Amino acid sequence: MKKSSFLVAVLLIVVISLGACVNLPAPTLTNAQQTAVYQTLTAIASENIPSQTPLPSPTNTPEPTNTATATQTPVLNTSIGPDNFPEDVDPLTGLKVEDPALLDRRPVLIKVSNFPVEGRPHSGLSYADIVFEYYIGAGSNRFAALYYGQDCNAVNPIRSVRRVDGQIARLYQSVLAYSGGNGENVLPLIFELLPNRTMAEGLCPGVCDDGHGWVTTVYGDSAALTNYFKSTGADTGREDLTGMLFDETGPTGGEAGQSAWVKYTDYTMSEWVYDEDSGKYLRWTEDPTQGYIMIPLVDKLTGEQLAFSNVIVLNTYVTEYTTVLHDMTLRDNTDGQNATIFRDGKAYQVTWKATNPDKPLQFFDKQGNLFPLKPGNSWMALIGVTSNLSVENSEWVFSFSIP
């Protein structure tokens, strides 16, 4: 699909989708879903991921590969943070990294598209410390993946920037990579919040197209982005990213939380299901090509289903300027809003705040104490303050709405 045809394609997808909306039960591997899994894994084996420079001919695109620059492992003591993290511990995951020098930089925030579905499965999301998910209008959602404790040289597919990305990047002191953006209502704000800390498509090997020129063929290299911003002086070394608390031992209380649905629309949704063996939540996603059954969402680079230690659903104020132009209140949330944290098969209702507009978000229990996240990666889904929540038999369903 050419980029110039993307809007028409989105409208067509929405029209088709509206006629196929269904209420879905918790996913189980039926025969149809096993077929979907097989087809997804077949796509992983056959589809191509771009190399680190634009290709003169699309037929020369290599097979997907990635070498992470660091391995993260649990720390020995049970609790770590929120201040004075050891030099070799990632303050965004609470995990040790193999090479502490990797942390002597700004994190790298990369925009990743979830639509059109031809861009799935994505590449590189499993390497991120934190992935943010939010609504962008026209029935679609989008991701912003934050890389710090590990790198990935084939993050794909990269798409356009949104207003909220500037807030996320400021909170986590990151640089920001994307492909395009609204020149009137988005980019001026991004440049104001992140002077000299952004890169759009075209500056290879940071953000490149593989030569096809499609909306699904732009990719990013987090290590190359770091090198670029160090060369410009925008990245001068380790930033103060303290504030998060991690503990291998889960807090007391909580409710059964085996499953967490996030429904932005009846045809844009996900479910996270707790896996006892790994101690993580596994991501399922809708498949519009097969009647909106739920299938595993995998990372094309690893061939494995996305697995996250913490799944966090944050309620925030969403401002809708047009059906495809929104903003969300993150850095100005100093009083606190509701959030639900899923870890270790339990759900905890907490409060989240931006206690400092230029430091990571923090989470507090009902007594006002910092809530401990499980060491590891986190997925944060942003929904409106008026969004609905229903809970039945350890299944939590969040339905997005805008005031």
What are the DSSP calls for 276-302, one per residue?
TTTTEEEEEEEEGGGTTEEEE-B-TTT
pLDDT band, residue 403 (cuts 50/70/90)? confident
Helix, strand, or coil (residue 191)? helix
pLDDT tens profile 232-252: 999 999 999 999 999 999 999
Q: Quick one: CA torsion of 360, 365, 368, 369, rounded to 10 degrees?
A: -70
For residue 28, pLDDT beyond 90: no
* pLDDT score of 64: 43
The token pair at 23 is 């209420």
* pLDDT score of 61: 34
3-state percent breakdown (helix, strand, coil) of the chain, nearest 5: 20, 35, 50
pLDDT band, residue 25 (cuts 50/70/90)? very low
* pLDDT score of 78: 78
Q: Are strands 175-177 and 108-113 parallel, antiparallel or unpaired?
A: parallel
Average pLDDT over residues 43-48: 34
Q: With 0-12 CB in 10 A as exposed, 13-18 as middle and 19+ as buried, what is 151?
A: buried
For residue 2, pLDDT beyond 50: no
The token pair at 200 is 């759009």
* pLDDT score of 67: 52
Average pLDDT over residues 300-319: 98
Contact in structure between 253 and 42 (CB atoms under 8 Å): no
Write down the mean pLDDT value for the chain.
86
Helix (H) or strand (E) holding 337: strand 337-343
* pLDDT score of 72: 78
Separation of alpha carbons 331 and 329, rounded Å:
6
| Residue 34 neighbours by CB under 8 Å, 6+ apart | none
Q: Which residues of 165-199 are buried (b: 16+ CB within 10 A; e: fewer)?
A: bbbbbbbbbbbbbbbbbbeeebbebbeebbeebbb
pLDDT band, residue 75 (cuts 50/70/90)? low
Contact in structure between 16 and 183 (CB atoms under 8 Å): no
- According to DSSP, the residues that pair with 399 across neighbouring strands are 263, 388
Nearest to 360 by CA among 381, 333, 335: 333
pLDDT band, residue 22 (cuts 50/70/90)? very low
For the chain, the residue count is 403
* pLDDT score of 253: 95
For residue 21, pLDDT beyond 50: no
The token pair at 279 is 């101690």
Average pLDDT over residues 142-152: 98
Q: Where are the domains of the chain?
A: 28-50+63-399
The CATH fold assigned to 28-50+63-399 is: YerB-like fold (3.50.90)
* pLDDT score of 60: 32
Find the angle CA(289)-CA(137)-CA(175) to the nearest 5 degrees: 100
pLDDT tens profile 98-129: 999 999 999 999 999 999 999 999 999 999 99
Separation of alpha carbons 87 and 96, rounded Å:
9
Contact in structure between 346 and 254 (CB atoms under 8 Å): yes
Contact in structure between 110 and 145 (CB atoms under 8 Å): yes
* pLDDT score of 387: 98
* pLDDT score of 57: 29
Measured from the Cβ of residue 290, the count of other Cβ atoms closer than 10 Å reads: 14
